[in-house]
Structure 1
Amino acid sequence: MEEDVAQLSHAELVEKKFVLFAEECFGLFTSKIAASLVRYNGDRCVAVIDSLQAGRTVQDVLGYGGPIPIVSRVEDALHLRPEVMIIGKGLHSADLPESWKPHILSAVQNGLHLVNSIHYRLAGDPDIARAIRDKGVTVWETKDTPPVQLNKARVLDLDTWVIHTCGSDSNIGKKTAALQIWQEANRVGISTGFAATGQSGMLISGHGIAVDGVPGDFMAGAVEKVVMDAAAGNEWVVVEGQGSLNHIGFSSVALAILHGALPHALVFCHRLGAERTKVWETPIRPLPELIRLNEELSVFERPAKVAAISVNSFGFSEEDYRREVEKLEADTGLPVVDPVREGGARLVEILRAHQRETLDRLSDLQR
């Protein structure tokens, strides 16, 4: 294992081979950070730690990812030569689970750098802090707040076209839709930046901010900075969404992103079949109502419209998926795409057309 004394940058950390820590929670919807990293950075993932599913493969659990092994302990993955351990599960808590501490200590003692995705700062535990100092490993606290300013609406001065993925709940595919659009747009020659607003997006792209770790007054300003950075030299920016406006726990984050990003276009995300929000179990309002809510809360200086609906159809047969899509298109009057099932090409074409129509309309108003 590496025992570098020099601290590594975030960009350097995300390029290294890693083991994912998802103890007692690895799954598509139960450890979304881990699931996202397997999908987009799986070539660097050597193993997943989850003692409940040890002996299985990532493919067995997620339906993608191939033969990456699931093991019980850090020690079981050392022969695969990881350099970093990434905590692949966010928590609705500011505490460190007691059962996680031995795994984290073992990782540090074996010279692994750490990427922490929870609100608890690892140096807050005396034993872990001592081990970090002794081994000289790098710890990336993704929830640390960088220096930020209040939102100054500087995004309005950009020539870059800004797209934002909003939605009906947390953990339904806003990040995935944004990443699929980002990758496909660049593939077809539209230079596109990705504005990460959460840990998964940061770990996949190597930059961005965990907006839920920023003090309330500064969240929109933090998003503004991420969008400005991602816009440099690009025609489009895709802004990763968080939470939802109708979510009793995460509405403030969703609104801060909407107002900080000042998007030209929205892609509304939803998990097919979902009727209640996760964790809080509040009823999800009819989608046409939620779409109007997002459009109406975009700012007067740049009113944004939903161009398409991106759905997560995991678990649906092709026949059931097509039937649900037809119903949702009829209910909303909008095109519906699952960018994982179908790829991102159709969403990019829809957004291109939406951009042309919006620019034509603005041109007509200015005449």
Structure 2
Amino acid sequence: MQLSSDRRLALLMHEAVLGNAGKMGFGLLRYSDSQIACVIDRETAGRDLVALCGIPRPVPIVATIAEALALGADTLVPAIAPAGGILPDDWRREICEGLRGGMSLVNGLHERMAEAPDFRAALTPSAWIWDVRVEPDGLPNGLGRARELPAKRILTVGTDMAIGKMTASLELHKAAQRQALPSAFVATGQIGICISGAGIALDAVRVDFASGGVEWAVLEATHKLPRPARAGGAGLIWVEGQGSVLHPASTAWLPLIRGSVPTHLILCHRAGQESVLRAPWVRVPPLREVAALYEAVCAPIQPARVVGIALNCGHLSADEAQAACEKTEAETGLPTSDVVRFGGERLLEAVLAA
């Protein structure tokens, strides 16, 4: 399924506009081609969304489902990415209200909402429920087939979860498109799939098929490249990273490396972050050491180097961000950019030159 540009989304984001769980909503606000009718957040209703989150998409914030329906919203998205992907209990009543009002539902959480009796009972005949986190049928085991592709495969890796790997991949894909380079984006999480309409929700895939699922998604992405690029090696495939080798809860980073067989890596880091946020006893080593760790994991199947650093500076001013990028570049010797603020061209150049 794919969200068409004529859908009018209502992003359900209670207590997430100012919190840390709004990753789904912020991703759709920044990158979705669908119309955003409103954000639903009782905490910030009536306030200026652009001023609150810095994303240049001026949509209203309302407090209730009824207000969203009045604004013409036809698709409801529980737009948070909480730990474990579990729906907050008090949201079920609101979702049922939206479904009874004729809304369709895009579900990026782990629960299969299309199978939930309360949601099925509330769904109107012309509407639908899309569960994004579903394992595709017939996935193969991974056998490293992506290594045979002529296109460059660039995987974003990170020092933590939720640090900007999807954002970096999308911004670099956009930079390549601006230069008319043959480019494709491979989504590996629910947010990227909702934005691009294709990909694989890796955290819904059984571990034996995880690398095969990534491999399948990368091979599928080659069909989006112009034929000369597929044949001549000029294409770029940007693979959205997940998790981190440093995070004790993270496993997705390894099948991503095995399945995509990357030719290049972009290391993502939040400026100034010294430890894993949900496991603060795990310190972030110097970035060159993190890069070497990822490169060592790649080496047995196909060597790949970290060619640049995408530095997340969303919490800094523009001047502070520029200084942080310059400092990181001096420390690592690697091209560094806040790709949201300054664009992806600098890191794209590093990929093309490597």
TM-score normalised per structure 2? 0.92
Conserved? CA contact 1:151–1:218, under 8 Å: yes
CA deviation after TM superposition for structure 1 residue 24, in Å: 1.8
Where in structure 2 are there 5+ consecutive unaligned residues?
226-234
Is 1:101 aligned with 2:92? yes
Partner of 1:278: 277
CA deviation digits over 1:8-38, x for unaligned, max 9? Answer: xx12556512111112212474311110110
- Unpaired segments ≥5 residues, structure 1: 1-9, 355-367
Native 8 Å contact 2:40 2:64 kept in 1: yes
Hey, what does 2:127 align to over in structure 1? Answer: 137
The question of whether the paired residues in 2 share the 8 Å contact of 1:16 and 1:84 is answered with: yes
Greater mean deviation of Cα atoms: 274-283 or 171-180: 274-283
Q: Name 1:226's counterpart in structure 2.
A: 217
Contact 2:30 2:57 in 1 (8 A): no
What CA distance in whole angstroms lies between the structure 2 residues aligned with 1:321 and 1:96? 35
- Structure-2 separation of matches of 1:28 and 1:269: 21
Cα 1:34/1:195, change in 2 over 3 Å: same
**Alignment size in residue pairs:** 343
User: 1:249 — aligned with what?
Assistant: 249
Cα–Cα, structure 1 residues 283 and 122, in superposed 2: closer, same or farther, change >3 Å?
Answer: same
Alignment-derived partner of residue 104 in structure 2? 113
**1:306 counterpart residue number:** 306
**Structure 2 CA distance, aligned partners of 1:277 and 1:192?**
32
- C-alpha change, 1:353 and 1:118, in structure 2 (3 Å) is same
Deviations 1:19-58 (A, max 9, x none): 1111221247431111011011276111001111111132
Cα gap change, 1:346 to 1:335, in 2 (>3 Å) = same
Name the counterpart of 2:263.
Answer: 264
CA contact (8 A) 2:9 2:77 kept: yes
Cα distance in 2 for partners of 1:12, 1:42 equals 8
Matching residue of 1:287? 287
Q: Report how far residue 125 of structure 1 moved.
A: 3.7
Q: Secondary structure at the match of 2:11?
A: strand
Shift of 1:239: 0.2
Aligned mates of 1:302, 1:44 — CA distance in 2: 41
Looking at structure 1, the residues matched to 15 and 107 of structure 2 have their Cα atoms a distance apart, in angstroms, of 17
- After TM superposition, list the pairs within 5 Å mapping 1:1-367 onto structure 2: 10-13=1-4, 16-27=7-18, 29-41=20-32, 44-93=35-84, 95-132=86-123, 134-147=124-137, 148-234=139-225, 235-250=235-250, 252-281=251-280, 282-354=282-354
User: Residue deviations 1:241-262, cap 9 Å, x none?
Assistant: 0111111111x10111111111
Identity among equivalent positions (%) equals: 34
Question: Relative to structure 1, is the Cα distance of residues 49 and 43 closer, same or farther in structure 2, using a 3 angstrom cutoff?
Answer: same
Q: Which one is further off, 111-120 or 18-27?
A: 18-27
The CA RMSD over aligned residues, in Å, is 1.8
Instruction: Tell me the distance in 2 between the aligned counterparts of 1:124 and 1:25.
Output: 26
